[in-house]
Amino acid sequence: MLVIRYPLFCTFAPEEHFVFVKKVSNYLSLVKFSHTVFAMPFALIGFTIATTRTDSHFEILLLAKVILCMVFARTAAMAFNRYIDRDIDSQNARTAIREIPKGIISPGSAITLVVLSSAAFIATTYSINPICFYLSPVALMVVLGYSLTKRFTWLCHLILGIGLSLAPIGAYLAVTGKFDLLPLFFSFTVITWVSGFDIIYALQDEEFDRKLNLNSMPVAFGKRGALNISILLHFFSVFFVFVAGLFLPFGTIYWIGFAIFTILITYQHLIVKPNDLSRVNLAFFTTNGIASIVFAAFVIADLVFAK
């Protein structure tokens, strides 16, 4: 039989290779690994601020640990979300195709992934510095606890924003071991930015959430009211990015990134209307994903190259 040989002395038959790749693909889909583009760039901003604007030095191993922390924490949070919402997801036509409702991944496998990812996150923080280790349970409580919040409060979108906002602070702490003001501006940006676009995403489930007595801003304030709140939150996102630019201060490259970020945030509010949700996914993933990556690229370039 033809075999495919890999390094590390592992040997798979073609059909075994296909099954393995399919399983990995299913788990990546379960935790929406592609959505890492929302918070990871801001973690890199926090890391770069610490290595270029303090006495700390760049270390590739430490950067790898920060990235691993992001991946482990987010994997635990998303797997827990899919586990805890499995019965709800099975009743919603939009989410019934997810891996647990379809039986592709078992609830037991999902919760095992939560436990393993959480343990790996804590272990990685332990290898970084004491403050990251001591705060790791707090970070996990926030990112895991979000999944329960829509059962009792329409502020759930803000809790999600707070969870992702830990990225720039955590990365800065990993490098310096101490708190500072500058990364907080970017954390406030993430809170308001993520909360705002999560409200837009939740518009799709307003009727379903209302039927199941779940909480969200679209349920509490209606589609138009929720969109207005989203606009207000995104106004503050732009404000915090503006203040951060003045505080350091940053240079021209940063302000180009600021302009692009502002345009992209504004664009999503031009294409999503209370009576037309056909482009919610374009606003949610594509526009915000591009905004995060492009903005981070300009910020990091300014920090590294601008004089």
Domain membership flag for residue 28: no
Res 164 pLDDT > 80: yes
Token pair belonging to 195 = 């909360």
Query: 257: domain CATH number?
Result: 1.10.357.140
- In a domain? residue 108: yes
CA gap 219, 200 in Å, rounded: 12
The whole domain housing 52 covers 34-305
Higher pLDDT, 255 or 30: 255
For the segment 273-302, what is each residue's pLDDT rounded down to a tens digit? 888 888 888 777 888 989 999 999 999 999
Flag whether 284 is in a domain: yes
Supply the pLDDT for residue 38.
84
Q: Is residue 14 part of a domain?
A: no
Q: What is the total count of domains within the chain?
A: 1
Cβ neighbour number for residue 59 with a 10 Å cutoff: 12
When the pLDDT of each residue in the chain is averaged and rounded to a whole number, the result is 91
For the chain, the farthest-separated pair of C-alpha atoms sits apart, in whole angstroms, at 65
Decide: helix, strand or coil at residue 299: helix
* Residue-wise pLDDT tens digits, 55-76: 999 999 999 999 999 999 999 9
130, pLDDT greater than 90: yes
Determine the pLDDT at residue 2: 47
CA distances from 165 to 106, 160, 220, 248 (A): 30, 9, 24, 19
Q: What is the C-alpha separation between 287 and 229, in angstroms, rounded?
A: 19
Domain-located, residue 17: no
Q: Which two tokens stand for residue 44?
A: 């890199």
